[in-house]
Amino acid sequence: MPVTVPHMGNLAIPLKAMLEYVGLEVVLPPPCTKRTLSLGTQNSPEFACLPLKINLGNYIEARELGADTILMAGGLGPCRFGYYAQIQREILQDLGIDMKMVVLEPPDASIKDFLDDIRILANGQSWLTIIKAIQLAWYKAKAIDMVDIKLEETRPRQNHWSDADKIFDRFLRQVDQLNEKTDIYRAAERAVDEMSALPQDWHYEPIKIAIVGEIYTVLENFVNLGLEKHLGRMGVEAKRSIYLSEWINDHIFKGVLPLKSNKTLRKLASPYLNYFVGGHGWETVGSAVEAARDGADGVIQVAPLTCMPEIVAQAILPEISKDRNIPIMTLYVDEQTGEAGLVTRLEAFVDMIRRRKFIQEVSSK
Ligand code: SF4
């Protein structure tokens, strides 16, 4: 039963480790490309969310490599995520692609159901094995975030464009192969040290932009067209509102670990938004407030076109921008979005922030 999982940023690395630990064969889809997008788009309803289309492309490509079972998360709340699995199952059936779909109940809804699902998938392995498998996935997610945060800091300061990204890509290949906690953290520390040792301008003070919005578009580089890399190339430090380990802590460990949690962001969202609107809409509002509080120079909201929770958040962001005196831009992406258009919008936004900062500095002297 070769199992596959869809891509969302680097999430496949810890997931693969967890599934292999409980004895499953894992066949990952190739990294997302235009072909993935095209397979998903051709076979999905036009107005389906972009992540549904790309994940469908992932499944078709994983099937070509021999996967016969899909593991995916179920959804809850007022947005379309709850229908994903059913729609994708029916599309695959219509295409004559015979794949079993295992939908994990959202852990936020019932942690017991979530763990039971994992246990059934793991052919009744002991709870100890399952806990160790989840631990291994956690170490990998934490290590990836540690290096990812360093990457965000290094990009705008390095002298040779892409040096830090090369180190990060090499680290991802390494961490995928490692299975001991100490080896995983040692590899992460080595990658961080290598980035620190790169020739760079330590006196350069980059402008800081927070990236907030729908989690899939925030985490998946292919979908956001390399947003963070483009900002880094423009000398901007991009700071993501959510990292893999924080997502795991919130949704699987119920926020018990001492990391930033969605509870904090939801509190910060008040009084602008006081209830769950699906997806990450509530957190998007809280993240924008957090960015202003922490001294970011601007905020970029990124989301798939027609994403309902993010449309709700977008309607609130101008008020936050006015109250907190921080520029906020929204970027919607879909299969028609071109990289050149995105770069032009980013350049205009970054130029505006630089000019604004300059005027503020001059007038405060
Ligand atoms: S959060 Fe947005 S993109 Fe994700 S399923 Fe809901 S509506 Fe679609």
Say which CATH number the domain at 274 has.
3.40.50.11900
- Angle 244-251/127-154 helices, nearest 10 degrees? 140
Residues 115 and 170 in one domain: no
In angstroms, rounded to a whole number, what is the distance separating the alpha carbons of residues 146 and 188? 7
- Report the atom number in ligand 1 closest to the C-alpha of 81: 5
Alpha helix segments (H runs only) across the chain: 12-21, 34-42, 50-64, 84-94, 111-121, 127-154, 163-177, 181-196, 215-219, 227-233, 244-251, 262-269, 281-293, 308-324, 339-363
Residues 181 and 310 in one domain: no
* Residue 220 CB neighbours (<10 A): 20
- Report the atom number in ligand 1 closest to the C-alpha of 217: 3
Residues 95 and 170 in one domain: no
Average pLDDT score over residue span 208-231: 95
Residues 236 and 358 in one domain: yes
Q: Identify the top-confidence range among 56-60, 80-84, 200-204.
A: 56-60
CB of 232 within 6 A of ligand 1: the answer is: no
Residues 219 and 194 in one domain: no
The pLDDT of residue 324 is above 90: yes
- Report the atom number in ligand 1 closest to the C-alpha of 281: 1
3-class state of residue 100 by DSSP: strand
* Phi then psi dihedrals of residue 221, to 5 deg: -60, -35
Q: Which of 102, 123, 144 is the last residue of a domain?
A: 123
Residues 140 and 289 in one domain: no
Residues 44 and 85 in one domain: yes
CB of 206 within 6 A of ligand 1: the answer is: no
pLDDT given at position 351: 97
**69-73 and 100-104: which strand pairing?**
parallel
Number of domains in the chain: 3
* Phi then psi dihedrals of residue 159, to 5 deg: -80, -35
CB of 302 within 6 A of ligand 1: the answer is: no
Pocket test for ligand 1, best of 80, 86, 306 (most atoms within 8 A of CB): 80
Greatest C-alpha distance within the chain: 69
- Of residues 234 and 114, more confidently modeled: 234
pTM: 0.93
CB of 278 within 6 A of ligand 1: the answer is: yes
Residues 212 and 196 in one domain: no
Residues 302 and 341 in one domain: yes
| C-alpha atoms less than 13 angstroms from C-alpha of 279 in its C-beta half-sphere | 29
Closest-CA residue, ligand 1 atom 7, reads 307
Instruction: Record the tokens describing residue 116, joined without a space.
Output: 């039971």
Residues 45 and 10 in one domain: yes
> Cis peptide leading into 30, omega within 30 of 0?
no
Q: Which of 105, 123, 141 is the last residue of a domain?
A: 123
CB of 308 within 6 A of ligand 1: the answer is: yes
pLDDT given at position 174: 97
Domain that holds residue 41: 3-123
Q: List pLDDT tens digits, range 293-321.
A: 999 999 999 999 989 999 999 999 999 99
Residues 98 and 133 in one domain: no
In angstroms, rounded to a whole number, what is the distance separating the alpha carbons of residues 181 and 140? 8
Residues 260 and 136 in one domain: no
Pocket test for ligand 1, best of 79, 283, 312, 335 (most atoms within 8 A of CB): 79
Average pLDDT score over residue span 145-157: 95
